[in-house]
Amino acid sequence: MGRCVYGGIHEPGHPEADADGLRLDVVELTRELGVRAVRYPGGNFVSGHRWEDGVGPRAERPRTLDLAWRSIEPNTFGLNEFMAWTRLAGVEPIMAVNLGTRGVQDACDLLEYANFPGGTRCSDLRIAHGVREPHRIRTWCLGNEMDGPWQIGHKTATEYGRLAAETAKAMRRVDPDIELVACGSSNERMETFGSWEAQVLDEAYDVVDHISLHAYFEQHGDDRAGFLASAQVMDSFIDGVVATCDHIAAKRRSTRRLTLAFDEWNVWHESRHAGQDGPRWARAPRLIEEEYTTEDAVVVGNLLMSLLRHSDRVAIGCLAQLVNVIAPIRTEPGSAAWRQTVFHPFALTARHASGEVLRVEPVSPMLHSTTIGDVAAVDVAATRDPETGGTTIFAVNRDERQPAALRLRMAEGGRQVVEHVVLGGRDLRATNTRDAPRRVEPRGSTAHSTEPGGLTARLPPVSWSMIRTAPRSAVTR
């Protein structure tokens, strides 16, 4: 979509590009961001995609129409280029198959091309394309947002559920070790939400491993409090899908426990976007290239906290997208890449939220939101590394006017703060740009104190904070 691939991760001739046209500065930022997995090739794009157009000699690949975003697809970047990029970036691939305009046989052919060692039509085609070893892609998405009327090949829940189940069964014949993701409803505002998941899982529960969730968040009208509490909406969304999964399991008397793939989520000010009919058949047009603010970064940090506290059921969580298109990384042709504001909470969470997620039950004052009702002013999540004993606390103050005093009681005494950083609390409309790429960054804070069995910290208004502690005996003086 847009400039995520062409002009994003792939720009032949760029000073930072390698011989294959992959931008190494973007690769380095992807590593710094802490990305573990990347879903490809989409998104709405996949529902009209012919994977075979993107393999083989580049000079022989056709230029095609991408009906999802009314763009010209040159197909100079395809499956094998993507896999080369994942190896450079150190990420695991998640592959999506086209269940919009195609179906069972096409999905099996793609899986055979990607994962089968050799000696068959599709696997030998991969070898002929210069890739001898199979890619061994583990996770596969069975289409994308198939309940959306905007989707190429839109289907009813029954139609999609049957197709997903039959595709899953056939793909497992090709490779029994894969994990499969069924499409959930496109978002919780869809009239089909809830009933869609139930009907799809009635058909496919026994042959899939995960069901997907998608959600984008923006401010509605003047309700800033509601926007700042987007994580509360994410919490209830996840809880609703978990309840549906467990209802179907109970109904079927199944001992299988499905997990969730929250494989599209982000802040996206969608009301500013022209929609899918806006583009006019350009190659890599500039689509929804959000300039994220400090406030947006606070919300993204809070959304990550929601995913953490649901990590018992959310197995996959993909920020959409990576470069340029509603993305933490931005680029310009022939120029440098830079970190958007939302880059920072993601990178810090990916780096430091290790080990076990702790149950945290904060007691907080309440704020009023006109769109979602009363919301907690302060939200908290925490993780503990059992190997080091280190604890990481993530805290958000949603109050626009007042700082908050965070008081933590800890079962383990004798702890010391090893890092305390804050994002927000000022310049909420500030952005990072090519000319000012470091205007918004986390800043160190000393606004904390420790006492036996506890910790107190100051949370500035509209801020995201990370506080790392360690046992005093583990701290080198």
Domains along the chain with CATH numbers: 24-354 (3.20.20.80), 357-474 (2.60.40.1180)
pLDDT tens figures, 240-272? 999 999 999 999 999 999 999 999 999 999 877
The pLDDT of residue 105: 98
Contact yes or no for 143/95 (Cβ under 8 A): no
Q: Tell me if 467 sits within 8 A of 448, measured CB to CB.
A: yes
The torsion of the CA quartet 29, 34, 39, 44, rounded to 10 degrees, works out to -60
SS3 for 182? strand
Structure tokens of 313?
């059921």
User: Model-level pTM?
Assistant: 0.95
Q: Which amino acid is at 346?
A: F
Distance CA 129, CA 114 (A): 12
- Helix, strand, coil shares of the chain as percentages rounded to 5? 30, 25, 45
Looking at the annotation, which residues are catalytic? Answer: 145, 264
pLDDT number for residue 451:
85
| Sequence-separated (6 or more) residues with CB below 8 Å from residue 215 | 187, 188, 233, 234, 237, 262, 264, 265
Strand partners, 448: 457
Residues of the chain with pLDDT under 50: 477
CA end-to-end span of the chain: 50
Give the pairing type, strands 210-217 and 179-182: parallel
Res 474: pLDDT: 59
Residue with tokens 């809070």: 302
Q: What is the pLDDT at residue 413?
A: 66
Neighbours of 360 (CB within 10 A): 17
> For the residues of 285-305, what is the DSSP string, one character each?
--------BHHHHHHHHHHHH
